[in-house]
Amino acid sequence: MPLQNRVTPLGELVAHPARGLVYGNRGCLHDDAGRIRQRFSVKRWISCRLEFRGWQRGPLLQPGKFTELFFLDEATAFAAGHRPCALCRREDYVHFGELWRELHPRQQGADAIDFQLDGERLLRDRSRRTHETSYSSLPDGAFVLRDGAPWVVVGPDLLRWTPAGYVDRLAKPDGTACVLTPVSVVAVLASGWKGVVPFLHPSAAAPR
């Protein structure tokens, strides 16, 4: 039975057998039996490489340890509110911080970034925060919510997210979008962000 450790663009944890391309965590979310009991336990939500220095951890969801999470790709991790890990993705973390300071000149370091992202991804009641902007202004990799489903912007199109890949391509509409990706991360993406982990799952490159 698949573990409930796949993360959707809304930040929710689901069980699905398909493998993700990006790894991460947001603290210990499971009990001693491996059952998910909370959505997060810390403000530091990170995304990581699947492989680093040959380290291997098993079994997953060990009692008292952080919950190993998996994302379809980095665009999904960004939408959920995760930023690059300072250890296994050091170059990406430094680059992300440089772009971040252009947006928030008074903020430096992981704590400042994590505090800002915590406010951008969650409302006061800890439910999911969204924001609105025009479809025309959204960069590739930004996620929007349409009829309750997450869709990612890829060029002139939107692609519907599923745990196994992207499906149901449609032309990016006019008007206002309900955006899932935190507003500061959208700005980072708009600057031309490129990282070392898979930014978009290969299914995003399927012909129109």
Helices (H), the chain: 74-80, 90-103, 110-121, 183-190
The pLDDT, as a whole number, for residue 53 is 80
Long-range contacts, stretch 175-178, CB < 8 angstroms, 24+ apart: 175/134, 175/135, 176/132, 176/133, 176/134, 176/135, 177/132, 177/133, 177/134, 177/135, 177/138, 177/144, 178/130, 178/132, 178/144, 178/145, 178/146
Give the alpha-carbon dihedral of 46, 148, 122, 140, to 10 degrees.
50
CA-closest candidate to residue 53, choices 92, 88, 19:
88
The pLDDT, as a whole number, for residue 2 is 92
Residue type, 18: A
Longest dimension (CA), the chain: 48
Q: How far apart are CA 60 and CA 171, in angstroms?
A: 40
Hey, which residues does 133 pair with through a beta bridge?
Answer: 177
The pLDDT, as a whole number, for residue 206 is 76
Distances (CA, A) of 103 to 2, 191, 194: 39, 11, 17
Sheet holding 143-146, edge to edge: 131-134, 176-179, 143-146, 149-154, 157-162, 165-171
CA-closest candidate to residue 155, choices 198, 124, 200:
200
Positions in the chain whose pLDDT score sits under 70:
57, 207-208
Residue 141's CB is within 10 A of a number of other CB atoms, namely 24
